[in-house]
Amino acid sequence: VASKSSEETPRLRGILERAAKLICANGYEATSMQQIADACGLTKAGLYHHITTKESLLMAIMTYGMDLFEERVLTPANAVADPMERLKVTMARNLDLVTDETSKSVTIILHEDHSLTGDAQREINARKKKYVRFLEDAFKAAIERGQVREVDPTLAAFSMLGTMLWTYKWYRPGGAMNPEKLSAGMIDMFFRGVLPS
Amino acid sequence: VASKSSEETPRLRGILERAAKLICANGYEATSMQQIADACGLTKAGLYHHITTKESLLMAIMTYGMDLFEERVLTPANAVADPMERLKVTMARNLDLVTDETSKSVTIILHEDHSLTGDAQREINARKKKYVRFLEDAFKAAIERGQVREVDPTLAAFSMLGTMLWTYKWYRPGGAMNPEKLSAGMIDMFFRGVLPS
Protein backbone atom coordinates (compact mmCIF):
# COMPACT_ATOMS: atom_id res chain seq x y z
CA VAL A 1 0.00 0.00 0.00
CA ALA A 2 1.28 3.49 -0.79
CA SER A 3 2.29 5.79 2.03
CA LYS A 4 -0.15 8.42 3.31
CA SER A 5 2.27 11.33 3.04
CA SER A 6 4.27 12.61 0.08
CA GLU A 7 6.75 9.74 0.20
CA GLU A 8 5.69 8.07 -3.03
CA THR A 9 8.72 6.80 -4.91
CA PRO A 10 9.18 7.85 -8.56
CA ARG A 11 8.36 4.24 -9.62
CA LEU A 12 5.12 4.22 -7.64
CA ARG A 13 4.24 7.73 -8.87
CA GLY A 14 4.57 6.48 -12.45
CA ILE A 15 2.19 3.61 -11.71
CA LEU A 16 -0.34 5.92 -10.02
CA GLU A 17 -0.24 8.39 -12.92
CA ARG A 18 -0.81 5.67 -15.52
CA ALA A 19 -3.58 4.08 -13.48
CA ALA A 20 -5.24 7.48 -13.00
CA LYS A 21 -5.23 8.07 -16.76
CA LEU A 22 -6.92 4.72 -17.42
CA ILE A 23 -9.50 5.30 -14.67
CA CYS A 24 -10.28 8.80 -15.99
CA ALA A 25 -10.77 7.42 -19.49
CA ASN A 26 -12.72 4.26 -18.72
CA GLY A 27 -14.06 4.55 -15.17
CA TYR A 28 -12.87 2.86 -11.99
CA GLU A 29 -15.04 -0.25 -12.17
CA ALA A 30 -14.29 -0.84 -15.85
CA THR A 31 -10.51 -0.66 -15.35
CA SER A 32 -8.87 -3.97 -14.41
CA MET A 33 -5.62 -4.52 -12.53
CA GLN A 34 -4.44 -6.40 -15.64
CA GLN A 35 -4.96 -3.30 -17.83
CA ILE A 36 -3.08 -1.18 -15.30
CA ALA A 37 -0.21 -3.69 -15.19
CA ASP A 38 -0.09 -3.69 -19.03
CA ALA A 39 0.00 0.11 -19.16
CA CYS A 40 2.92 0.10 -16.70
CA GLY A 41 4.85 -2.63 -18.50
CA LEU A 42 4.48 -4.88 -15.46
CA THR A 43 3.12 -8.37 -14.89
CA LYS A 44 0.09 -8.55 -12.61
CA ALA A 45 2.33 -10.05 -9.91
CA GLY A 46 4.74 -7.16 -10.41
CA LEU A 47 1.90 -4.64 -9.98
CA TYR A 48 0.68 -6.41 -6.81
CA HIS A 49 4.19 -5.96 -5.42
CA HIS A 50 3.47 -2.20 -5.33
CA ILE A 51 -0.28 -2.19 -4.70
CA THR A 52 -2.17 -4.86 -2.75
CA THR A 53 -5.79 -4.24 -3.82
CA LYS A 54 -7.68 -2.14 -6.34
CA GLU A 55 -9.20 -0.02 -3.56
CA SER A 56 -5.76 0.64 -2.07
CA LEU A 57 -4.67 1.74 -5.56
CA LEU A 58 -7.55 4.24 -5.70
CA MET A 59 -6.66 5.50 -2.21
CA ALA A 60 -3.00 5.83 -3.24
CA ILE A 61 -3.99 7.87 -6.32
CA MET A 62 -6.21 10.17 -4.24
CA THR A 63 -3.51 10.56 -1.57
CA TYR A 64 -1.00 11.43 -4.28
CA GLY A 65 -3.47 13.93 -5.81
CA MET A 66 -4.12 15.53 -2.42
CA ASP A 67 -0.37 15.72 -1.69
CA LEU A 68 0.20 17.42 -5.05
CA PHE A 69 -2.67 19.83 -4.43
CA GLU A 70 -1.45 20.76 -0.94
CA GLU A 71 2.13 21.18 -2.11
CA ARG A 72 1.23 23.33 -5.10
CA VAL A 73 -1.82 25.24 -3.83
CA LEU A 74 -2.70 25.07 -0.15
CA THR A 75 0.76 25.31 1.48
CA PRO A 76 2.03 28.29 -0.57
CA ALA A 77 -1.34 30.08 -0.32
CA ASN A 78 -1.41 29.55 3.44
CA ALA A 79 1.87 31.43 3.68
CA VAL A 80 0.30 34.64 2.28
CA ALA A 81 -0.68 36.92 5.19
CA ASP A 82 -3.06 39.34 3.43
CA PRO A 83 -6.47 37.59 2.99
CA MET A 84 -7.30 39.17 -0.39
CA GLU A 85 -3.86 38.34 -1.74
CA ARG A 86 -4.24 34.83 -0.27
CA LEU A 87 -7.51 34.30 -2.17
CA LYS A 88 -5.95 35.48 -5.44
CA VAL A 89 -2.85 33.30 -4.99
CA THR A 90 -5.11 30.32 -4.20
CA MET A 91 -7.16 30.83 -7.34
CA ALA A 92 -4.12 31.34 -9.59
CA ARG A 93 -2.32 28.29 -8.20
CA ASN A 94 -5.37 26.05 -8.27
CA LEU A 95 -6.07 27.04 -11.89
CA ASP A 96 -2.42 26.30 -12.73
CA LEU A 97 -2.88 22.81 -11.33
CA VAL A 98 -6.17 22.31 -13.21
CA THR A 99 -4.69 23.26 -16.56
CA ASP A 100 -1.45 21.29 -16.04
CA GLU A 101 -1.49 18.21 -18.28
CA THR A 102 0.96 16.18 -16.13
CA SER A 103 -1.00 16.26 -12.90
CA LYS A 104 -4.42 16.22 -14.55
CA SER A 105 -5.60 12.65 -14.05
CA VAL A 106 -4.48 12.24 -10.42
CA THR A 107 -6.20 15.48 -9.45
CA ILE A 108 -9.38 14.87 -11.48
CA ILE A 109 -9.97 11.64 -9.60
CA LEU A 110 -10.21 13.61 -6.34
CA HIS A 111 -13.37 15.28 -7.60
CA GLU A 112 -15.13 12.28 -9.02
CA ASP A 113 -17.35 10.28 -6.74
CA HIS A 114 -15.39 7.08 -6.79
CA SER A 115 -15.71 3.98 -4.70
CA LEU A 116 -13.61 4.70 -1.61
CA THR A 117 -15.18 3.38 1.60
CA GLY A 118 -14.72 3.61 5.36
CA ASP A 119 -11.54 5.19 6.75
CA ALA A 120 -10.06 5.90 3.33
CA GLN A 121 -13.15 7.88 2.30
CA ARG A 122 -13.19 9.75 5.63
CA GLU A 123 -9.53 10.67 5.30
CA ILE A 124 -9.87 12.09 1.78
CA ASN A 125 -13.09 13.91 2.71
CA ALA A 126 -11.39 15.48 5.73
CA ARG A 127 -8.61 16.82 3.50
CA LYS A 128 -11.17 18.22 1.02
CA LYS A 129 -13.10 19.88 3.87
CA LYS A 130 -9.89 21.49 5.10
CA TYR A 131 -9.72 23.33 1.76
CA VAL A 132 -13.31 24.55 2.05
CA ARG A 133 -12.61 25.83 5.62
CA PHE A 134 -9.42 27.51 4.40
CA LEU A 135 -11.40 29.38 1.72
CA GLU A 136 -14.23 30.30 4.11
CA ASP A 137 -11.69 31.65 6.63
CA ALA A 138 -9.93 33.68 3.94
CA PHE A 139 -13.26 35.18 2.84
CA LYS A 140 -14.23 35.98 6.45
CA ALA A 141 -10.88 37.70 7.03
CA ALA A 142 -11.16 39.63 3.75
CA ILE A 143 -14.70 40.76 4.68
CA GLU A 144 -13.47 41.91 8.12
CA ARG A 145 -10.79 44.03 6.47
CA GLY A 146 -13.28 45.48 4.00
CA GLN A 147 -11.47 43.86 1.07
CA VAL A 148 -14.57 41.83 0.18
CA ARG A 149 -18.19 42.98 0.60
CA GLU A 150 -20.62 41.23 2.96
CA VAL A 151 -21.18 38.01 1.01
CA ASP A 152 -21.83 34.57 2.54
CA PRO A 153 -18.32 33.07 3.04
CA THR A 154 -19.53 29.50 2.44
CA LEU A 155 -21.30 30.44 -0.78
CA ALA A 156 -18.26 32.45 -1.88
CA ALA A 157 -15.99 29.46 -1.18
CA PHE A 158 -18.15 27.07 -3.20
CA SER A 159 -18.64 29.58 -6.04
CA MET A 160 -14.88 29.90 -6.33
CA LEU A 161 -14.38 26.13 -6.15
CA GLY A 162 -17.04 25.52 -8.81
CA THR A 163 -15.61 28.11 -11.19
CA MET A 164 -12.12 26.61 -10.87
CA LEU A 165 -12.83 22.90 -10.72
CA TRP A 166 -15.46 22.78 -13.47
CA THR A 167 -12.55 23.66 -15.77
CA TYR A 168 -11.57 19.96 -15.64
CA LYS A 169 -14.79 19.20 -17.52
CA TRP A 170 -14.19 21.42 -20.54
CA TYR A 171 -10.60 22.69 -20.78
CA ARG A 172 -8.35 20.88 -23.28
CA PRO A 173 -4.62 21.72 -23.40
CA GLY A 174 -3.62 23.08 -26.79
CA GLY A 175 -7.17 24.25 -27.54
CA ALA A 176 -8.43 27.76 -28.33
CA MET A 177 -8.18 28.95 -24.72
CA ASN A 178 -4.67 29.40 -23.40
CA PRO A 179 -4.13 28.69 -19.68
CA GLU A 180 -2.77 32.17 -18.79
CA LYS A 181 -5.75 33.88 -20.41
CA LEU A 182 -8.12 31.45 -18.72
CA SER A 183 -6.61 32.05 -15.29
CA ALA A 184 -6.44 35.84 -15.58
CA GLY A 185 -9.99 36.04 -17.00
CA MET A 186 -11.56 33.80 -14.37
CA ILE A 187 -9.86 35.56 -11.45
CA ASP A 188 -10.91 38.95 -12.81
CA MET A 189 -14.53 37.82 -13.33
CA PHE A 190 -14.77 36.12 -9.95
CA PHE A 191 -13.64 39.21 -8.02
CA ARG A 192 -15.07 42.01 -10.17
CA GLY A 193 -18.16 40.29 -11.58
CA VAL A 194 -19.33 40.84 -15.13
CA LEU A 195 -21.32 44.09 -14.82
CA PRO A 196 -19.90 47.29 -16.35
CA SER A 197 -18.12 49.41 -13.73
CA VAL B 1 -35.46 1.28 -25.71
CA ALA B 2 -36.80 4.57 -24.39
CA SER B 3 -37.88 7.26 -26.82
CA LYS B 4 -35.48 10.09 -27.68
CA SER B 5 -37.98 12.88 -27.02
CA SER B 6 -40.04 13.70 -23.92
CA GLU B 7 -42.42 10.82 -24.44
CA GLU B 8 -41.37 8.79 -21.41
CA THR B 9 -44.39 7.18 -19.77
CA PRO B 10 -44.86 7.64 -16.00
CA ARG B 11 -43.95 3.95 -15.49
CA LEU B 12 -40.70 4.34 -17.45
CA ARG B 13 -39.91 7.63 -15.69
CA GLY B 14 -40.19 5.84 -12.33
CA ILE B 15 -37.75 3.18 -13.51
CA LEU B 16 -35.29 5.79 -14.80
CA GLU B 17 -35.45 7.79 -11.56
CA ARG B 18 -34.82 4.72 -9.40
CA ALA B 19 -32.01 3.52 -11.66
CA ALA B 20 -30.42 7.01 -11.61
CA LYS B 21 -30.44 7.02 -7.80
CA LEU B 22 -28.66 3.66 -7.67
CA ILE B 23 -26.11 4.72 -10.28
CA CYS B 24 -25.40 8.00 -8.45
CA ALA B 25 -24.87 6.11 -5.19
CA ASN B 26 -22.83 3.15 -6.42
CA GLY B 27 -21.50 4.00 -9.89
CA TYR B 28 -22.68 2.80 -13.29
CA GLU B 29 -20.42 -0.25 -13.59
CA ALA B 30 -21.15 -1.42 -10.04
CA THR B 31 -24.94 -1.25 -10.53
CA SER B 32 -26.49 -4.42 -11.97
CA MET B 33 -29.75 -4.75 -13.92
CA GLN B 34 -30.86 -7.13 -11.13
CA GLN B 35 -30.43 -4.39 -8.49
CA ILE B 36 -32.36 -1.96 -10.67
CA ALA B 37 -35.15 -4.50 -11.17
CA ASP B 38 -35.28 -5.08 -7.38
CA ALA B 39 -35.46 -1.35 -6.66
CA CYS B 40 -38.38 -1.07 -9.11
CA GLY B 41 -40.23 -4.10 -7.74
CA LEU B 42 -39.81 -5.84 -11.10
CA THR B 43 -38.38 -9.17 -12.20
CA LYS B 44 -35.33 -8.91 -14.45
CA ALA B 45 -37.55 -10.06 -17.35
CA GLY B 46 -40.04 -7.32 -16.41
CA LEU B 47 -37.26 -4.71 -16.47
CA TYR B 48 -36.00 -5.93 -19.87
CA HIS B 49 -39.52 -5.35 -21.18
CA HIS B 50 -38.90 -1.60 -20.69
CA ILE B 51 -35.16 -1.41 -21.31
CA THR B 52 -33.22 -3.70 -23.64
CA THR B 53 -29.60 -3.15 -22.48
CA LYS B 54 -27.75 -1.42 -19.65
CA GLU B 55 -26.30 1.13 -22.08
CA SER B 56 -29.75 1.93 -23.47
CA LEU B 57 -30.87 2.47 -19.85
CA LEU B 58 -28.06 4.98 -19.32
CA MET B 59 -28.98 6.73 -22.58
CA ALA B 60 -32.65 6.81 -21.53
CA ILE B 61 -31.71 8.38 -18.15
CA MET B 62 -29.54 11.02 -19.86
CA THR B 63 -32.26 11.76 -22.43
CA TYR B 64 -34.79 12.14 -19.63
CA GLY B 65 -32.38 14.42 -17.72
CA MET B 66 -31.78 16.54 -20.84
CA ASP B 67 -35.54 16.75 -21.53
CA LEU B 68 -36.15 17.91 -17.96
CA PHE B 69 -33.32 20.44 -18.20
CA GLU B 70 -34.58 21.86 -21.51
CA GLU B 71 -38.17 22.02 -20.31
CA ARG B 72 -37.32 23.71 -17.00
CA VAL B 73 -34.32 25.86 -17.97
CA LEU B 74 -33.45 26.27 -21.63
CA THR B 75 -36.90 26.66 -23.21
CA PRO B 76 -38.25 29.26 -20.72
CA ALA B 77 -34.92 31.16 -20.69
CA ASN B 78 -34.86 31.19 -24.50
CA ALA B 79 -38.19 33.01 -24.46
CA VAL B 80 -36.70 36.01 -22.60
CA ALA B 81 -35.80 38.75 -25.11
CA ASP B 82 -33.48 40.92 -23.00
CA PRO B 83 -30.01 39.23 -22.84
CA MET B 84 -29.23 40.30 -19.25
CA GLU B 85 -32.64 39.17 -18.06
CA ARG B 86 -32.16 35.95 -20.04
CA LEU B 87 -28.88 35.21 -18.22
CA LYS B 88 -30.46 35.84 -14.82
CA VAL B 89 -33.50 33.67 -15.59
CA THR B 90 -31.18 30.91 -16.82
CA MET B 91 -29.13 30.99 -13.65
CA ALA B 92 -32.17 31.07 -11.35
CA ARG B 93 -33.89 28.24 -13.19
CA ASN B 94 -30.79 26.08 -13.45
CA LEU B 95 -30.10 26.53 -9.72
CA ASP B 96 -33.73 25.57 -9.02
CA LEU B 97 -33.18 22.34 -10.91
CA VAL B 98 -29.88 21.65 -9.14
CA THR B 99 -31.38 22.04 -5.66
CA ASP B 100 -34.55 20.10 -6.50
CA GLU B 101 -34.44 16.72 -4.74
CA THR B 102 -36.83 14.99 -7.18
CA SER B 103 -34.88 15.59 -10.36
CA LYS B 104 -31.44 15.40 -8.73
CA SER B 105 -30.18 11.97 -9.79
CA VAL B 106 -31.31 12.10 -13.43
CA THR B 107 -29.68 15.48 -13.89
CA ILE B 108 -26.47 14.65 -11.97
CA ILE B 109 -25.81 11.76 -14.33
CA LEU B 110 -25.64 14.21 -17.25
CA HIS B 111 -22.51 15.76 -15.75
CA GLU B 112 -20.66 12.62 -14.81
CA ASP B 113 -18.40 11.08 -17.38
CA HIS B 114 -20.26 7.85 -17.83
CA SER B 115 -19.87 5.11 -20.32
CA LEU B 116 -21.99 6.23 -23.27
CA THR B 117 -20.41 5.45 -26.64
CA GLY B 118 -20.89 6.25 -30.32
CA ASP B 119 -24.11 7.94 -31.45
CA ALA B 120 -25.60 8.08 -27.98
CA GLN B 121 -22.57 9.96 -26.65
CA ARG B 122 -22.58 12.30 -29.66
CA GLU B 123 -26.26 13.07 -29.20
CA ILE B 124 -25.94 13.95 -25.49
CA ASN B 125 -22.78 15.97 -26.12
CA ALA B 126 -24.52 17.93 -28.86
CA ARG B 127 -27.34 18.84 -26.46
CA LYS B 128 -24.81 19.92 -23.81
CA LYS B 129 -22.92 22.03 -26.36
CA LYS B 130 -26.18 23.73 -27.34
CA TYR B 131 -26.40 25.03 -23.77
CA VAL B 132 -22.82 26.37 -23.85
CA ARG B 133 -23.58 28.17 -27.18
CA PHE B 134 -26.81 29.56 -25.74
CA LEU B 135 -24.87 31.06 -22.79
CA GLU B 136 -22.08 32.39 -25.03
CA ASP B 137 -24.65 34.04 -27.31
CA ALA B 138 -26.47 35.60 -24.36
CA PHE B 139 -23.17 37.01 -23.03
CA LYS B 140 -22.23 38.35 -26.48
CA ALA B 141 -25.63 40.05 -26.80
CA ALA B 142 -25.39 41.48 -23.27
CA ILE B 143 -21.89 42.83 -24.02
CA GLU B 144 -23.16 44.45 -27.24
CA ARG B 145 -25.89 46.23 -25.30
CA GLY B 146 -23.43 47.37 -22.64
CA GLN B 147 -25.20 45.27 -19.96
CA VAL B 148 -22.04 43.21 -19.40
CA ARG B 149 -18.46 44.51 -19.63
CA GLU B 150 -15.97 43.22 -22.23
CA VAL B 151 -15.34 39.73 -20.79
CA ASP B 152 -14.60 36.59 -22.81
CA PRO B 153 -18.06 35.10 -23.54
CA THR B 154 -16.76 31.51 -23.48
CA LEU B 155 -15.01 31.99 -20.16
CA ALA B 156 -18.09 33.74 -18.77
CA ALA B 157 -20.29 30.83 -19.92
CA PHE B 158 -18.06 28.22 -18.29
CA SER B 159 -17.62 30.27 -15.10
CA MET B 160 -21.39 30.45 -14.78
CA LEU B 161 -21.78 26.74 -15.52
CA GLY B 162 -19.10 25.81 -12.98
CA THR B 163 -20.60 27.97 -10.24
CA MET B 164 -24.05 26.43 -10.79
CA LEU B 165 -23.23 22.81 -11.50
CA TRP B 166 -20.60 22.35 -8.79
CA THR B 167 -23.54 22.79 -6.39
CA TYR B 168 -24.41 19.14 -7.09
CA LYS B 169 -21.17 18.19 -5.32
CA TRP B 170 -21.81 19.91 -2.00
CA TYR B 171 -25.43 21.01 -1.59
CA ARG B 172 -27.63 18.78 0.61
CA PRO B 173 -31.39 19.50 0.86
CA GLY B 174 -32.43 20.31 4.43
CA GLY B 175 -28.89 21.44 5.34
CA ALA B 176 -27.72 24.82 6.65
CA MET B 177 -28.00 26.54 3.24
CA ASN B 178 -31.55 27.09 2.00
CA PRO B 179 -32.08 26.94 -1.78
CA GLU B 180 -33.52 30.46 -2.12
CA LYS B 181 -30.59 32.00 -0.27
CA LEU B 182 -28.17 29.91 -2.31
CA SER B 183 -29.70 30.98 -5.61
CA ALA B 184 -29.97 34.69 -4.75
CA GLY B 185 -26.43 34.77 -3.32
CA MET B 186 -24.81 32.99 -6.25
CA ILE B 187 -26.56 35.12 -8.87
CA ASP B 188 -25.59 38.31 -7.01
CA MET B 189 -21.94 37.20 -6.65
CA PHE B 190 -21.66 36.06 -10.25
CA PHE B 191 -22.88 39.36 -11.70
CA ARG B 192 -21.51 41.85 -9.16
CA GLY B 193 -18.39 40.02 -8.01
CA VAL B 194 -17.21 40.06 -4.40
CA LEU B 195 -15.32 43.35 -4.21
CA PRO B 196 -16.80 46.24 -2.24
CA SER B 197 -18.64 48.70 -4.51
Identify the residue among A166, A167, A178, A186 best suited for mutation to test binding to B, counting B beta carbons within 10 A and taking the highest.
A166
Q: What is the pLDDT of residue B85?
A: 98
Would you call B31 exposed, middle or buried from its count of C-beta atoms within 10 A (0-12, 13-18, 19+)?
A: buried
Q: What per-residue confidence (pLDDT) applies to B26? A: 84
Q: What is the pTM of this model?
A: 0.91
Q: Do B192 and A196 touch (CB under 8 A)?
A: no
Contact residues on chain A for B155, CB-CB shorter than 8 A: 177, 181-182, 185-186, 189
pLDDT at residue A96 in the model? 95
What pLDDT was estimated at residue A7?
A: 56
Check whether A6 has a pLDDT greater than 70.
Answer: no
In contact, A189 and B159? CB cutoff 8 Å: yes
> Across the interface, do B166 and A165 touch by the CB < 8 Å criterion?
yes
**CB within 8 Å: B192 and A193:** yes
State the pLDDT at residue B115: 73
Contacts of residues A141-147 at CB distance under 8 Å and 24 or more positions apart, as own/partner, are A141/A83, A142/A83, A142/A84, A142/A87, A145/A83, A145/A84, A146/B196, A147/A83, A147/A84, A147/B195, A147/B196
Residues 6+ apart with CB under 8 A from A183: A91, A92, A95, A96, A99
Cα(B66)–Cα(B71) distance, rounded to whole angstroms? 8
How many angstroms separate the CA atoms of A132 and A154, rounded?
8
**How big is the A-B interface in CB pairs under 8 Å?**
138
ipTM: 0.90
Contacts of A105 in chain B (CB under 8 A): none
Model pLDDT, residue B4: 45
Find the range with the poorest average confidence among A148-162, A169-183, B98-112: B98-112
Q: State how far residue B152 is from chain A, nearest Cα, in angstroms.
A: 7
Which residues are within 8 A (CB) of A35 and not within 5 positions of it... i.e. 6 or more apart?
Answer: A22
CB within 8 Å of B40: residues ≥ 6 apart: B14, B15, B18, B19, B47
Q: Could you say which of A28, A148, A181 has the minimum Cβ distance to residue B27?
A: A28
Which of chain A's residues have a Cβ under 8 Å away from the Cβ of B181? 152
pLDDT of A53 reads 92
Tell if the CB–CB gap between A159 and B158 is shorter than 8 Å: no
Q: Pick the residue with more confidence: B171 or A113? A: B171
pLDDT beyond 90 at A114: no
Q: What is the DSSP string of A55-86?
A: HHHHHHHHHHHHHHHIIIIIHHHHT--SHHHH
The predicted-structure confidence for A21-79, as pLDDT tens digits, reads as follows 998 888 888 899 999 999 999 999 999 999 999 999 999 999 999 999 999 999 999 99
pLDDT of residue A10: 85
Cβ–Cβ below 8 Å for B159 and A186? yes
Q: Which residues of chain B have pLDDT under 50?
A: 1-6
- The whole-angstrom distance between B149's CA and the closest CA on chain A is 5
Question: Residues of B with CB below 8 A from A32's CB?
Answer: none
Nearest CA in chain A to B29: A29
If pLDDT is split at 50, 70 and 90, which confidence band does A20 have? very high
pLDDT at A142 > cutoff 50: yes
